[in-house]
Structure 1
Amino acid sequence: MFAYILKRLLLMIPTLFGVLLLTFLVIQFVPGGPVEQYLAEAKAGSRGAEGAGMAYRGAQGIDPKRLDEIKALYGFDKPPAERFVQMLGQFARFDLGNSFFQNKSVWQLIKDKLPVSISLGLWTFFISYLIAVPLGIAKAVRAGSRFDLLSTIIVLVGYAIPGFVLGVALLVIFGGQLQMFPLRGLTSSSWEDMGWAARVVDYLWHITLPVTAMVAGSFAVTAMLTKNAFLEEIRKQYVVTAKAKGLSERQVLWRHVFRNALLPIVTGFPAAFIGAFFTGALLIETLFSLDGLGLLSYESVIRRDYPVVLGTLYLFTLIGLLTKLVSDLCYVWVDPRVKFD
């Protein structure tokens, strides 16, 4: 086991290197970098000043020395290979750098945005599992029945509808026409002045629509996986033997089938749980004006805020690799028969 864990940890190094290298190379060919955006803003400012009849030196162009200072500020005065090696050295010390435009470290930005993504992710995770696992078990026990057919249709329809499309519909119907729920944010502007009970109600009132939009399609895979796992176990010989010994179907289901059937669900639990903290729902966050990690990533790509793009990519990739390792180790914990050698 120790040798397997060590090998997996060592394999993370080339994986991280490959992800960062590929992203860094793509960035080099993307037009409109931070320096170009600065120059475009300066040109736009000079045009505005000219339109107002004001003398503005920016209309004469950027001084070459000033341009060199701007490139040095963003680190573009060095060749790409040197910048990449410097970035790897920072990441090895878990220094994610500073944002080009927000005057904050990448770590601080992640800490500021993480609570919103945690709110969305954890609610989605727990509600999805609380619905999907019992539904999957019920579908397996009643396989082929009308309940199984109707629930499958509903699950697949929910899975087929994109979350942002459902979010738009919810906003239009319940937020616009019926005005039952707020259109944006996680809390009201007067949240600080409320009592704790009123704060809880206000928070749940705001989170209902975005969580509903995310949950609708997220539990479909877990529900169908649970159903198929239970069906596979129910059809095995040990179930027939247990029934022949006089055990009731309920006893067979909960004492024998349940543990074996939940193997794929339990082993995927760590990845789903950790992913709930860091998986930013970009479209949902944008649609409901929620300032989370998804919106941060989108704005960073649009503004070419490369330290934020690469820093968050490095952190989330590392967390994903470690979580995948934990998920694999859960197989041994749940089923001792599994051997990695």
Structure 2
Amino acid sequence: MFIYIIKRLLLMIPTLIGVVTLTFFVTQFVPGGPVEQMMTQLRHGQQRGGEGGGGGSAYHGSQGVDPQQIEQIKKQFGFDKPPLTRYLKMLRDYARFDLGQSYYHHQSVWAVIRSKLPVSITLGLWTVVLTYIVSVPLGIAKAVRNGSRFDTATSVMVLTGYAIPGFVFGVLLLMLFGGGTFWQVFPMRGLTSDNFDELSAFGKVLDYLWHIVLPVTASVVGNFAIVTILTKNTFLEEIGRQYVLTARAKGAPKRDVLWKHVLRNAAIPLLTGLPAAFIGAFLNGNLLIETLFSLDGMGQLSYDSVIRRDYPVVLGSLFLFTLIGLVTKLIADVCYVLVDPRIQFNSLDR
């Protein structure tokens, strides 16, 4: 196990370098970078000043931006150095886990990401917890009642939820329960109320839960189908195995066979996939859900960073989340072996 883990950790290095390198050269040479955006703002400012100014102020709008100002802007954003120099400096900084400074937030990328994570963690954590709480028992019930009316009806329900985009369902929830057309039951925006700090501990919990009902519901409904169908198919596969038929032939009660034998083997892919599901849920960030419910999370940050060409945030967050994803995949592989000793590390390599 130790050798396998070391090997996987070493393989993460070229993977990270490849992802960051590709993204760096794509972002550095696309048009409309921070230097061009700043120059555009200066030109517009000069034009407005020339049109509305008087006295001895000269109009420079037609002359563009002064070359000295352009050099200062390039130095401000680090574009006064060749791309290769900037790239090597970025790799050195990332090796020390220094993600740099945001162009527009005027603080470190670490601070920017930390300020946005609570929203994404909230949505991701509740989405994963509710998905497993609902989908695993439902999948087991569907497997036991395979082909029944219950199985058909629940399949239609979860697949309908999967087919409806989350933001569309969110609009429907706001219209029904957010005061849009019918009832004002839940708040329309934010994770907490304006007077959150003045509330008691119990009041803060209730206020928090009151705010997350609609966004979490909009996020989680589409996830039920995947875990439910996976659970059902896994249980059906285990129920048809020889050891189950042998236990039933020896007179073992159906309930004991299901919960003592089938559950232990069928739960392996569900348990080992839980870390990756959680990490993926809160790192991806749902831009549309966050925008719809006025939540300032990672989805909104990623979108704004790309639009503004805030390259340190784009590259830093990509580096961090790629690293977390690779580590999570390694943890999932180790969990497979710990849960099921029949799996060997040499098989995981293949």
Q: TM-score range by the shorter chain?
A: over 0.9
Alpha-carbon offset, residue 294 of structure 1 = 1.2
Pairs within 5 Å for 1:245-260:
245-260=250-265
- Is 1:33 paired with 2:33? yes
The alpha-carbon deviation at position 288 of structure 1 amounts to 1.0
Partner of 1:195: 200
Partner residue, 1:2: 2
**1:288 equivalenced with 2:293 (yes/no):** yes
How many angstroms apart in 1 are the aligned matches of 2:156 and 2:266? 23
Match of 2:113 in 1: 110
Correspondence for 2:138: 135
RMSD: 1.5
**Displacement, 1:58?**
5.8
In the alignment, which of 179, 184, 193 is matched to residue 189 of structure 2? 184
Judged with a 3 Å threshold, the aligned counterparts in structure 2 of structure 1 residues 48 and 182 are, in CA distance, closer, same or farther, namely: farther
What is the distance in 1 between the residues matched to 2:246 and 2:20? 54
CA shift for structure 1 position 53: 3.3
Report what 1:165 is aligned to: 168
1:204 to 209, 224, 227: 209
C-alpha deviation, 1:166, in angstroms: 1.1
> Scaled by the length of structure 2, what TM-score is found?
0.94
User: What's the counterpart of residue 43 of structure 1?
Assistant: 43
Shift of 1:279: 2.9
Deviation at 1:173, TM superposition (A): 2.4
C-alpha displacement of 1:46: 2.3
Stretches of structure 2 that go unaligned for 5 or more consecutive residues are none
* Residue type of the alignment partner of 1:182: P
- Rounded to whole Å, the distance in 2 between the matches of 1:246 and 1:57 is 96
Question: What whole-Å deviation, never above 9, does each CA across 1:47-83 have from its counterpart, x for those lacking one?
Answer: 3334433547763532211210110111111111111
Is structure 2 residue 314 aligned with structure 1 residue 339?
A: no
The worse-fitting range, judged by mean Cα deviation, of 132-141 and 9-18 is 9-18
Residue identity in the other structure for 2:81: K
Equivalent-residue separation in structure 2 for 1:30 and 1:58 (angstroms): 28
Q: Does 1:273 align with 2:303?
A: no
Unmatched runs of 5 consecutive residues or more in structure 1: none
Q: How much has 1:45 moved relative to structure 2? A: 1.9
Change (3 A) 1:83 1:196: same
Q: Distance in 2 between matches of 1:126 and 1:302?
A: 33
Q: Give 1:307's match in structure 2, choosing from 300, 309, 312.
A: 312
Mapped partners of 1:107, 1:172: distance in 2:
37
Deviations 1:117-166 (A, max 9, x none): 11111111101110010011001000000000010111111111111111
**How many percent identity over aligned positions?**
62
Contact 1:16 1:314 (C-alpha < 8 Å) held by counterparts? yes
Structure 1 residues 214-258: Cα deviation after superposition (integer angstroms, max 9, x where no partner): 001112111110100000000111111111222111000011000
Q: Distance in 2 between matches of 1:66 and 1:57?
A: 16
Aligned residue for 1:338, secondary structure, equals: coil
Q: Distance in 1 between matches of 2:50 and 2:67?
A: 22
AA aligned to 1:86 is K
5 Å-filtered alignment, 1:91-106, equals: 91-106=94-109
Q: Partners in 2 of 1:247 and 1:328 — Cα distance?
A: 33
CA distance in 1, matches of 2:242, 2:68: 80
> 1:231 maps to what in 2?
236
Letter of the 1:38 partner, please give it.
M
Structural mapping, 1:8-23, within 5 Å: 8-23=8-23
Work out which of the residue numbers 62, 66, 70 in structure 2 matches 1:67: 70
Which moves more between the two structures, 311-320 or 113-122? 113-122
Letter in 2 for 1:168: V
Q: 1:16 and 1:155 mapped to 2: Cα distance?
A: 37
Q: Is the 8 A contact 1:135 1:223 kept in 2?
A: yes
Could you tell me how far apart the structure 2 residues matched to 1:137 and 1:119 are?
27
Q: Distance in 2 between matches of 1:56 and 1:67?
A: 19
Q: Are the equivalent residues in 2 in contact too, given 1:46–1:56 (CA < 8 A)?
A: no
Q: How many equivalent pairs are there?
A: 341
Query: Partners of 1:6 and 1:110 in 2: how far apart?
Result: 29
**2:258 is matched by which residue type in structure 1?**
L
C-alpha displacement of 1:329:
0.9
